[in-house]
Amino acid sequence: MTYQPGEILLDKYRIEALIGRGAFAEVYRATIIKQSKPCALKVLHKDAPGLGNKLFEDFVQRFKLEVELGARIDHPNVVQVFGVEHHGDNLILVMEYASGGSLAERIKEHRESRKYFEIEDALKIAVDVATGLGELHSRDAVHRDLKPSNILFDDMGCAMIADFGLVQVRGLSMRSQISQPIAHPGTPGYMSPEQENIGNYLRPSSDVYTLGLVLFEMLTGRDYNYIEPGTKLSDVIDNVPSGLDKLITKLLAEKSENRPWNGKTAASMLERELSRIRNEREKRVKRELKEAEKRDRKKEKAKEHERLKAKRQAKRAYIWSRIKETLSQISRRTRIITGGLIIGGIVIASLLLSVVHQDIVPKSRTLTTE
């Protein structure tokens, strides 16, 4: 039976929306009515097809284990479990609601767009997850089912570990109740070599290996299990910092003793690498800014040079135009003066000729008379 939005369960919870569905269970976003607080309800239907009584009882034990462990842990990188409820034949696990969705959804979006996680973004998620694992490991527990769908995000983008149904805890998990080692539960593709092959208790480094698988998938979009053993991250993608290349190789070491011992150690190593990469980026950005400023100053200097050059050219052109104008005026004045002198000379010459003529004519007449 699927619950509908607005439906009230146990006079405590109001169903808001169905947000996930598995083979035997459904996950709803709901509201704790008295507190007006959002929560997530994981509902296991006893009458689900293929879910027999034995398997249902196994899930009951898993839910109880989650509640038992949840009572011990209150950490920002671990999804909080509030309790377990019964609604008819249905079993309901009440959990913290992670509004940011799951890593599986983000990986799917990146894969569809063929754009994978930026290194810093992937490392930030890995640090959060490793920190959550560190808290779990400090309780002598091993998650055993770490995978993208069990890594959720809050509204601030902080990554949190969810689903502790398969957690190995001495004294609490079912492995404590059997005399002969049996195969470990888990999700194929997200299991360490020892989880796949050894029935004894797992060490925290088993979860560290799985974290390495998830980080490798975020950065490459590929499943490490289908890549030739010994392949480095730098063999798959370009521009991998050497420190990160070595760190992921260490996380994915075949032998557990060659990996970081637990989540706390892995978180410290991942945090250092993330800080180093951020510092390198900041230095690179500063260097690029300085180079850009230098280029801008050079361009500005060139513009100023061109501006001054244009100004000088304009000034020279103006001076030259004034010189030409002055010369033109002088030329006009010279022509006027020269013309005046010529005319004056002609007038004077005419007058002189006239005087000479007058002096000659009378004398001629006198001689004639005599």
User: Catalytic site residues?
Assistant: 145
Distance between CA atoms of residues 28 and 36, nearest Å:
16
Instruction: In whole angstroms, give the CA distance from residue 39 to residue 245.
Output: 39
Provide the Cα torsion 181, 185, 186, 187; round to 10°.
120
DSSP-assigned letter for residue 235: G
Q: In a 10 Å sphere around its CB, with 0-12 CB exposed, 13-18 middle and 19+ buried, how is residue 24 labelled?
A: middle
CB 76 within 8 A of CB 158: yes
User: Among all chains, which residue has been given the structure tokens 């929560």?
Assistant: 39
Q: DSSP character for 313?
A: H
CA angle (23 as vertex; 170, 222 as ends), nearest 5: 80
Cα–Cα distance measured from residue 92 to residue 27, given in angstroms and rounded to the nearest whole number: 9
Token code pair at residue 120: 């810093």
Which segments within the chain are labelled E, that is strand? 8-9, 13-21, 25-32, 37-44, 81-87, 90-96, 141-142, 151-153, 159-161, 168-169
State the DSSP code for 190: S
The structure tokens listed for 177 are 């109740």
Q: Which amino acid is at 347?
A: V
